Structure 1
Amino acid sequence: MTQKPPLLDLVRIRHLRQPDIPGRVAAMSEPKARENIGSLPALYNASEKTAFFTGLVEGQDPERVELVVTKRDSTTVAYSQLSDIDWTHGTCEIVVLALPEFRFGFGLLALLKTYDFAFGTLNLRSVLNDVNDGNRMMSSREVLLGKAQVIMPNAHFTEGRVRDSFQWTETRAEIAARFGFELPGQEAVAL
């Protein structure tokens, strides 16, 4: 196992701030992104989305952290979130929404940087991955079938299509083994 790869130094991660909200709303409204979003805010209009993210920036949901992933020159490449955070047990769900022009290449870096934040900065113990069938930004259905611990048939209706949801949990060590490098944070202990 190697140390964190220098590629992760190509991106930075920080909390979503008020000036970021218009870009976050626009990213969530982009048609390809909407295909992969099963959460209620995807259905909101622009002013409702703005109010929703303003509430998050103001700390109205202690179980959700909204993040911005940027290149070193501060160009935004993705938005990510940690949701359903269980601070007692150290778990959360991770969602990454890469901007269209950065989906390939920086999308993976954004995901890895978000894992790095979850395990290193927040010292969480495991994450829940939840990927909708047909998510062209992640993996094929066959790959998802191989990873899934739970398959939720007809879990989401997005962009006129009912989609299955593939879910699996991973600890810091499992993610590090999958990508071949160490992640910060404590190792998960069975409860």
Structure 2
Amino acid sequence: MRHIILSLILALSIQNINAQTENGFKAVEVLDSFEINPFTYFVDAPVLAAGDKNNYNAMTIGWGGMGTLWGRNRPVVTVYVAQKRFTHGFMEKSKYFTVMQFSDINVIQYMGKHSGRDGDKAKALGLNVAYTKNGTPYFKEADAVIECEIMYGAPFEEKNFRNDVPKKTYSNFPAGIHSMYFGEVVGAWKK
């Protein structure tokens, strides 16, 4: 699996920069120095986290996109979470989410194969959770973190499928249809 180090980020407040710097991260400008391929980023299976300081969950994701929406200078990350996934409930209740890049393949595999319903995945992996100034969970061991504010979220509807690709995908997909979430990038950090 390719290892892509992120070079992202948006201007942050001093408080937020200090919070991430304490955990070994450096803020970067996403619109000025974006060096990752948005078409391959999600092939490398980043980890998505949502929730708050009281309760959160994280999972590996393989579908997503990056671009702009509702304004030229509004960077957006789009993620998809199946409705039967434990993380889906956190995405529905949360205002923010994080997408994290890991070089440790064990983290990526474990987060994708185990459900938070069955136990604390971070604890099982020895990961240390931290929180952004917005209270969004991320892991100190990540190589890069993107924090997004959810602008829109909705489930796919079968009546809107225009060709056979989604129909075939969901005909044998046990986790059910996905919901999509557009998140405006509000911060990003890399080590």
Same fold by TM-score greater than 0.5: no
Q: Report the structure, 1 or 2, having the larger helix content.
A: 1
**More contact order relative to length (CA 8 Å, sep ≥ 6):** 2
